Amino acid sequence: MKIAILAWGSLIWNQGDLAVARVFAPDGPRLPIEFCRISGKDVAPRRLTLVIDEAIGADCLTYSAQSALGDLDAAKENLRVREGMPNINGIGFVDLSTGTESQTAVQRHPAAVQTIRAWAEAKEYHAVIWTALDSNFSKPAAAGEAFSVEAAVRFMEARPDDERECALNYIRKAPSEVQTPVRAAVVARWPQG
C-alpha cells in the first residue's frame, strides 16, 4: 500500500522516528492552516502550533512524503508516536482502497478531508495520513480566550523570555509556504535580528 504523510510544521524539520521513504517536499494539497493550537501543558515550552482550521486558516501549500510503511494501521501508529499523542483519534486518514476516512478529521475539517482525498487520487496514493488536531486556543487550559491574531500575540508576550524564544523558533522554522496572519504579526512584533 502506497501511503502519503502530510505535514506543514515540525514534521518537516524534525521527523524523529517517523518512517518515511523520502524527504518531505512541498507538493501536498493546499489546506487552511494557522498557528491556533497551544501545545499541551506537558510540552515545554508551551507554544503556538499549526493545525488545519477551516474557519480561520490561511490557504497554504503543504508538504508530503511517502511512508516507509505499507500498512495503514502501522503508519498511523508511527505518526501517533512521533506526535506524542495519547490515542489514535488525532490522526486523520483517507483510505482510498476501502473508501474509509477518519470520522474525527471529518468532524474537525470536512472540506480539507475532501481536498486531501482528491489530492491522493491525483497522486495515485492508496491512503493519506496527517495530524488532525483542532484548535484549542479558547480552552481554559490553553489561552482561555477566543482566538484572534491579537490574542495569539498576547499569548506570546506572556511567555517568559526563554519560552518565548523557543516558541518563536517554531514559528520561524515553519516552511516558507506557510504564510498566515499570526506568522505575519509575530514576525512584525519580534523581527529576527
* pLDDT exceeds cutoff 90 at 108: yes
Higher-pLDDT residue of 119, 40: 119
Neighbouring CB atoms inside 10 A of 140's CB total 8
DSSP annotation string for 53-92:
-TTT-EEEE-EEEEBS---HHHHHHHHHHHHT-SSGGGEE
pLDDT for 193: 57
> What single-letter DSSP state applies at residue 20?
B
pTM: 0.94
pLDDT for 140: 86
Q: pLDDT digits over 50-105, tens only?
A: 999 999 999 999 999 999 999 999 999 999 999 999 899 999 999 999 999 999 99
Instruction: Spell out the domain ranges in the chain.
Output: 3-189
Closest CA relative to residue 29, chosen from 3, 72, 66, 59: 59
Q: pLDDT digits over 147-189, tens only?
A: 999 999 999 999 889 889 988 999 999 999 999 999 999 999 9
